[in-house]
Amino acid sequence: MKILTAFLSLLICAEIFGQIKVSTDYEGANAILRKIDETDIWIKPDLRDTDGWWFYWNMEVYGAAGKKIRVFFENDDAIGNQGPAYSLDGGKTWAWLGSNSYTRPGKDNKSAYFTHEVPSGVSSVRYCFSIPYTLEDFKDFYAKLDGNPNFKMGKLATTLRGNDNFYVSAGNKNAPVKIVILARQHCCEASASYLLEGILSEIFSDTPCGKFLRENAEILAVPFVDLDGVRAGDQGKSRRPHDHNRDYSSSPIYPSVRAIMERCASYGADDKIIAIDFHCPGWRERKSYFYYPANPRLSENVARLASMLEDNAKDAKGALPYNTKNDIPYGSKTYNSSNKSSFRDYINALDNAEIATTFEFAYSDTLGEVFSPQKGRNFGRVFARTIAKYIRSMNEK
């Protein structure tokens, strides 16, 4: 009894003095806790099987209500342009802490840190490198579509860690245009998922664009190519021995990649594949852009799609901007090898490729516009309308 009383009073003390605790005990979490010194928390991104440095982290802080805390990245800087994203409701909704919330490493201090005056009354705060998008977020989206006859889901593959990965499909099986859209080949690149969700919203809707796409194309989407990594909170980029987007070879090691390749290989010789792989660019890049393939015909096709996207994005309200000037043509300093077993290179080598590209969608801000989930989704809707416009132009040719 005495022991129990002592234990209870310890718990009460912890509550009164508000001991700060850090948790990574939830899906998508990632952090190595170094120390907690009163209101200073020291962490590092957990690199796990990453080859080299990367910047994804995601943690929950308890016991900080009403306090001003500082979160240091030990000898590291893993803070994006808009500061960390934070959530006061256990990860349901997120906002940015803002560009005034952090200090980058200086001469005397190698550790970047951010400061937050945590509102009183909250039980915890989640912080993340960028605004996350988890399997739960997709389930919320899916719940809204329940009963929508335009929407089908199926099993893609059992992953290496035993998760059932899935695809989403829609449209007309007999249509010669096959749209294949992927996200999260690099699992930490969450902003791209909002874009993908926006595209799917448009495809499943009864807007003229949705109807057109379903009549004139068969659509296959894989929202989480590296589902294992999304759930575990891995970096995913440069995963050893190679990451998902280096696996499109004659002997893929990831079951989801193998299944995607089988689906793409099953399309007919007269079909036209429009394949777009959605990623996020460098951690602090403030622009979104396409990669143009090496093949001149295919490069021209991507350039046409890109210029249509620029036009459509100009007229769109509440979406993020896009400008073709930031696109990366093949042969540039950073992009001159196309034999990396990426999805894009794999599709580009197929005779029935019409479009095979990667679109890099900025994490936190694009050409001066700050990212929000809604703006990401709205940009996805613009993207879907652009694909529809492109298909119309194919039909006119």
Q: How far is the CB of 227 from Zn ion (least distance, A)?
A: 15
> Of 246 and 377, which CB lies nearer to Zn ion in the complex structure?
246
CB of 307 to Zn ion, least distance (A): 24
Q: Which is nearer to Zn ion, 141 or 361 (CB)?
A: 361
For residue 325, what is the DSSP state?
A: G
**Site residue total, Zn ion (CB under 5 A):** 3
Taking Cα atoms as reference points, which of 237, 314, 322, 310 lies closest to residue 286? 322
Subset of 131-190 contacting Zn ion (CB under 5 A): 186, 189
Cβ nearer to Zn ion, comparing 218 with 285: 285
CB of 161 to Zn ion, least distance (A): 20
* Other C-beta atoms lying within 10 Å of the C-beta of residue 300: 12
Contact status, residue 238 vs residue 33, Cβ threshold 8 Å = no
Helix, strand or coil, per DSSP, at residue 155: strand
> In terms of Cα–Cα distance, which of 70, 82, 17, 80 is closest to 43?
70
Tell me whether residue 134 or residue 185 sits nearer to Zn ion (CB atom).
185
- The candidate with the shortest Cα–Cα distance to 57, out of 23, 88, 90, 102, is 23
Q: For residues 210 and 223, which CB has a smaller minimum distance to Zn ion in the complex?
A: 223
CB 362 within 8 A of CB 370: no
CB-nearer residue toward Zn ion: 102 or 322: 322
| Cα 191 from Cα 359, distance rounded (Å) | 12
Give least dist CB 37 to Zn ion, A.
35
CA separation for the pair 144, 130 (Å, rounded): 24
What CA–CA distance (Å, rounded) separates 29 from 235?
11
Please identify, using beta-carbon distances, which residue of 190 and 320 lies nearer to Zn ion.
190
Residue 341 Cβ vs Zn ion, minimum distance, rounded to whole Å: 14
Cross-strand bridge partners of residue 332: 335
Q: Say whether residue 375 binds Zn ion (CB under 5 A).
A: no
205 and 388 in contact (C-beta within 8 Å)? no
Please identify, using beta-carbon distances, which residue of 172 and 238 lies nearer to Zn ion. 238
Cβ 112 to Zn ion, closest distance in Å? 23
Given a contact cutoff of 8 angstroms between Cβ atoms, the answer to whether 115 and 142 are in contact is no
Residues 259-298 that bind Zn ion (CB under 5 A): 279
Minimum distance from residue 189 beta carbon to Zn ion (Å): 5
- What is the smallest separation between the CB atom of 302 and Zn ion, expressed in angstroms? 17
CB–CB of 81/284 below 8 Å? Answer: yes
Residue ranges that bind Zn ion, judged by CB under 5 A: 186, 189, 279
